[in-house]
């Protein structure tokens, strides 16, 4: 957009130079045109800078809102799990093969689990009173 305007202004100036033979009149027109040109472009740059700053502010606010939304979604998931996932329990399991301790969120219907360290299958005995 600005490139087209600059091109048009340059063509306009060349047209003045070509068609105006009186040097004083040409100098006057070129001087006035240059002042107008500077004013127009300066104003346009200020507007563009303002819009750019405004856009950055919007992006920053959107980023903050996204973070808040992510936090809210996480809290809602935790709340849901607290209320509705009563059949699952957090257990600390120690692998009998490699002694790696890890937490598992499982229910009583699961009979075995894979150790995340050694990848051996650990049988779960729910009847053990130990």
Number of independent structural domains in the chain: 2
Does some domain include residue 6?
no
* Same domain assignment for residues 76 and 98: no
Does 130 have pLDDT greater than 60? Answer: no
Q: Tokens in use for 128?
A: 């053990």
* pLDDT tens column, 13-38: 899 899 999 999 999 999 998 898 88
* Same domain assignment for residues 99 and 76: no
Does some domain include residue 36?
yes
* Same domain assignment for residues 112 and 77: no
Does 97 have pLDDT greater than 90? Answer: yes
Does some domain include residue 39?
yes
What is the reported pTM?
0.39
Does some domain include residue 94?
yes
87: Cα within 13 Å, side-chain hemisphere: 4
* pLDDT tens column, 98-129: 999 998 888 777 889 999 999 999 998 877 55
Q: Tokens in use for 18?
A: 């070509």
Range of the domain at 95: 89-123
Cα of 122 vs its chain's centroid, Å: 42
Does 86 have pLDDT greater than 60? Answer: no
* Same domain assignment for residues 40 and 54: yes
């Amino acid at each position: 957009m600005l490139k087209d305007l600059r091109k048009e202004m340059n063509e306009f100036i060349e047209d003045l130079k070509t068609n105006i033979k009186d040097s004083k009149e040409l100098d006057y027109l070129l001087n006035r045109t240059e002042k107008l040109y500077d004013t127009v472009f300066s104003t346009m740059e200020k507007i563009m800078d303002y819009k750019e700053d405004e856009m950055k502010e919007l992006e920053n606010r959107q980023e903050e809102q996204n973070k808040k939304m992510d936090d809210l979604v996480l809290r809602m998931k935790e709340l849901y799990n607290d209320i509705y996932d009563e059949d699952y329990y957090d257990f600390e399991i120690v692998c009998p093969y490699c002694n790696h301790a890890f937490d598992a969120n499982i229910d009583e219907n699961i009979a075995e689990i894979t150790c995340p360290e050694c990848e051996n299958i650990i049988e779960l005995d729910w009847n053990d009173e130990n």
